[in-house]
Amino acid sequence: MILPLRDSPRPSTRPVVVMLLVAANVVVFLWQLSLRSSGQLDAVINALGFVPLRFFAWEQMGGAALDPQRFVPLLTANFLHGGWLHIISNMWFLIVFGDNVEDRLGHFRFLVFYLLCGACSMLVQGWVLPGSRVPAIGASGAIAGVLGAYLVLYPGARVLTLVFFFFQVELPAVVFLGVWFLTQLTNGAASLSPAAGEAAGGVAWWAHIGGFVVGMGLCVLLRRRAVPQPRRDWTTRPPRGLWT
């Protein structure tokens, strides 16, 4: 297991949107914790999480093709989490890598980018498993998009990495993110095995894969062309449904 501790580039602007997204995710998670019964929480996750079968069979179930209720979970699912470890790990990756991506895209375009990556990641998960009734929840499909953008924008950056919780090593971003993506592909392929079951260990691997690839493409379209080059600085710096 590898965990990023910090990266080398220092952004030239404050990561306002990253901080707002972290705050929004934390507030929603605290709201989830405030629900009085597991039945209430299950109902919320089923209503606001992304259920592939419900989305792709919407019209067969009698819904209008462009009914907003069909598309709302593509947004809301990205702000729900299945537990403390789920939200902490997601927010940590967003904080480490999101500030520099926001710096290159600009605040508004970064917000649009993040939400699009999240929605597309859910659609990829649903496209791979269209008959799944398990709601996919979590921010890491959107955050995977941030990682894909980081790979395109900062392939030569250095990432201080904790390896197997024992020692630290400085890795090029292309190596760290390459290992991360290979892990998602391996687990995603394994999740398609009939023996894996549709929950695949509680992780929506294909949402990660889809978000990463979409993020790589979107950042090319949305990035600002003329920006100051960031400086290297190390000193400043129980599951319910499928987790993404």
pLDDT at 236: 43
- Integer Cα distance of 135 and 198 in angstroms: 11
pLDDT at 71: 96
pLDDT at 201: 54
DSSP3 helix / strand / coil % (the chain, rounded to 5): 60, 10, 30
* 9: three-class secondary structure by DSSP: strand
Calculate the average pLDDT of the chain: 89
Report residue 238's pLDDT band, with 50, 70 and 90 as the boundaries. Answer: very low
pTM: 0.88
Query: Does pLDDT of 198 surpass 80?
Result: no
pLDDT at 164: 85
Query: Does pLDDT of 30 surpass 60?
Result: yes
56-60, 137-141, 150-154, 230-234: range with lowest mean pLDDT: 230-234
Q: What domains can be seen in the chain, in order of their start residue?
A: 2-243 (1.20.1540.10)
Query: In the chain, pLDDT over 70 holds for what percent of residues?
Result: 89
Beta-bridged to residue 158, according to DSSP, are: 172
Report residue 78's pLDDT band, with 50, 70 and 90 as the boundaries. Answer: very high
**DSSP letter string, 156-189:** T-EEEEEETTTEEEEEEHHHHHHHHHHHHHHHHH
Query: Does pLDDT of 239 surpass 60?
Result: no
What crossing angle do the helices spanning 16-34 and 84-105 adopt, rounded to 10°?
160
